[in-house]
Structure 1
Amino acid sequence: MPGKEDKVEITEQENEATQAEESPENEISLSEEELKALCREHVCPECDVMSEAKDERLRALAETENIKKRLIRETEELKKYAADSILSDLLPVLDNLDLALNHAQNLDACKDFVTGVDMTRKMFLDTLAKHGLEAVGKAGDEFDPNFHEAMGMAQASDLPDGSIAQVMQRGYVLKGRVIRPAKVMVNKLG
């Protein structure tokens, strides 16, 4: 029969074994690559959970990239057309300068006035052109519904059929985008 002393010996042996396991000398140290390899060995690559997690991660990365690209595109477009509303508000000023020139052009008493208004108009157009504004629609151009709004028909024998016979109101384009279509009379022969 084992005595009390035997139990103490077993307990002491167990303590020594436990301490040996816990001692830093017996501690296993693995590199990060070895840990990853062990992890891959213990997780089945065909496991549904792992493939679902991988798919979800890839979808999230793709969506993040798409959002980033969309934000960059929208920011560029905002910068490109930021002046759109301001320039639209300035178009009536140009219209009034054009009207002043048309009404006073044939009057000798207004010759200096016409010169001043014309110079102001040209400076104004040059400034707007620096920001990408271009005038569209002049007599003789081919009618294009993307840039011109037909107000009616006119007959001018010196112009081809379907061209602009008369401009009622000038149109403007900002970097390829129509701010206001030109209001025109389209030439119709016969």
Structure 2
Amino acid sequence: MSGKEDNKEMNEQETAATETEETAEAENEVTLSEDELKALCREHVCPACDVMGEAKEERLRALAETENIKKRLARETEELKKFAADSILSDLLPVLDNLDLALDHAQNLDACKDFVIGVDMTRKMFLDTLGKHGLKAVGKVGDEFDPNFHEAMGMAQVADLPDNSIAQIMQRGYVLKERVIRPAKVMVNKLS
């Protein structure tokens, strides 16, 4: 025989041996049902084993973290809904300030009473509309000074008012659903 034929015969023998091994492996392969596989796993993993305990703890931590994320997202979504109008209402405050200034200026004028009444009605309607969205004015003369809602611009001495109360409002302050949009700029009464 030639060298070519020997090589060919050797390759055929190797191929046949490989096929025989694969067939033997396939015959030795065991097919288990899912229940049998679970039972086999339980037999080989001890319930008191550290690996099992660590896996349970990790699973519980992951579930707790997922629950915390859900709660945080729900809280943030509610907060976003609650204060969505914040920037729009803040932009409307100068309009309200100008209406207040017009009324303060026209208070002593008798010439345009009907006009002043119209501006006052417009201001009240504007305030009612903003109030429907949760905006409220803070700070009245005589209220106690609260740095959370008021910004002190200076001090005044008014005998009729208690100490540390608002003596004068320089610019109205507003809150939107308990959040300060703009603090009231006030003069604080100091008797001594």
With the length of structure 1 as denominator, give the TM-score of the two structures.
0.80
**Counterpart amino acid of 1:65?**
E
Stretches of structure 2 that go unaligned for 5 or more consecutive residues are 1-26
Of all paired residues, the percent bearing the same amino acid is 87
Letter in structure 1 aligned against 2:90:
S
Structure 1: 4+ residue segments shifted above 3 A: 27-30, 34-39
Between the aligned partners of 1:95 and 1:136, the Cα distance in structure 2 is 14
Residue 88, structure 1, aligned to residue 90, structure 2: yes
Whether 1:142 and 2:144 are equivalent positions in the alignment is yes
Structure 1 stretches lacking a partner, 5+ long: 1-17
Alignment partner, residue 160 of structure 1: 162
**Aligned-pair distance for 1:110?**
1.9
User: In 2, distance between residues paired with 1:40 and 1:124?
Assistant: 72
- Structure 1 residues 44, 172: CA separation in 2 closer, same or farther (over 3 Å shift)? same
Q: What code does the residue aligned with 1:130 have?
A: K
Amino acid at match of 2:50: D
**Structure 1: distance between partners of 2:68 and 2:125:** 43
Q: Given the two structures, how large is their TM-score scaled by the length of structure 2?
A: 0.79
State how 1:32-111 maps to structure 2 within 5 Å. 32=35, 36=38, 39-111=41-113
Q: Which of 122, 128, 131 in structure 2 is aligned with 1:129? A: 131
Structure 1 residue matching 2:174: 3-state secondary structure:
strand
Shift in Å, 1:54: 1.7
C-alpha distance in 2, partners of 1:147/1:111? 34
| Count of aligned positions | 164
Matched residues in 1 for 2:32 and 2:183: separation?
A: 78
Q: What RMSD over aligned residues (CA atoms) do the two structures have, in Å?
A: 2.0
Partner of 2:179 in structure 1?
177
| Residue 36 of structure 1, CA deviation | 4.8
